[in-house]
Amino acid sequence: MDSGVTHAINLAPVMEAQDRSGGAWDALVDRARVGDSQAFDELMGLTESRVLGLAWRILQDRDLARDAAQDTFLRAFRSLHTYRTGEAFPAWLCAIAVNVCRDLLRRRGPRPVDLEDLDHLPHAQDHPSAPEEAILRSQRRTLVQRALGALPEGERTALVLRDLQGFSTEDVARVLGVRPVTIRTQVASARLKLRAACERLIQPGGQP
C-alpha cells in the first residue's frame, strides 16, 4: 500500500525541547524552585506544545485539552520538589499530564466514536479554494483522529507517547509506570487496530 503522504507533523519544537540537556532543564527547575517566575514561564514555554498536543490527542477534545494543560502546569509547579536532578523533565511533566488527562476522562466518562460517520468529514464545498489534495488530506486526518479516539485509553496514550511524542519505549514505560513489555504490547495492538481502521476507511491511495 502506497501511503502517498509525507510526514507533515512538525516535531521540531518537541525534539528541541527533548534534546535540551538535562543540565539545562535542571537549571531552570532550580531557579523556579527558589521563586524565579521567569524560569517557570520559560519551562512552560518550552513544553506547552508537547503538553497541549498530548492532552489533545488523549482527550480528543480541544477545550478539555486546554484545561488539562493548565492543570498540568499547576500540578507540576506544586510538585517541583519531587523532580529529581538529572531526570528527564519532559517525561516527568508528561507523567503529570497523563494523570491529569486520566482524571478528566474519568469525570467525562466514555464518549462513543462513530468511525463510519462520513457525513461530517471536511468537504470541498466547504473549502472551495482548497486544492483537492488538501481536502483529501484533511479528510484522512479526521478519520485517523477518530480511529485514534476509538482506541482504548491505555493503548491510545501509549501510542501517542511513543509514536507522536517521540518518547522511547522505556521512557513511555517510566511515564506510565509500567514495564516496557507492557508498552510494546499496547503499542503493537494500537498500531494493528489503527491499521485495520485505516484499511476500512481509507483507500490504498490515501483517499477516504
Q: Which residues within the stretch 46-65 sit at the binding site for other proteins (CB under 8 A)?
A: 48-49, 52-53, 56-57, 62-65
One-letter amino acid at 201 equals L
Closest CB 138 distance from other proteins, rounded Å: 8
Cβ 53 vs Cβ 157: under 8 Å: no
Cβ 140 vs Cβ 208: under 8 Å: yes
How many residues of this chain interact with other proteins, rule: CB under 8 A? Answer: 73
Binding mask 66-105 for other proteins (x = CB under 8 A): xx-xxx-xxx-xxx--------------------x--x--
Go through 104-121 and write b for each residue having 16 or more CB atoms within 10 A of its CB, e for each that does not: bbeeeeeeeeeeeeeeeb
Q: CB-wise, 16 or 22, nearer to other proteins?
A: 16
Task: Answer yes or no whether residue 140 interacts with other proteins by CB under 8 A.
Answer: yes
Query: Residue 171 burial by CB count (10 A; 0-12/13-18/19+): exposed, middle or buried?
Result: buried
Q: CB-wise, 8 or 19, nearer to other proteins?
A: 8
Binders in 20-49 for other proteins, by CB under 8 A? 33-38, 40-41, 44-45, 48-49
- CA gap 73, 77 in Å, rounded: 6
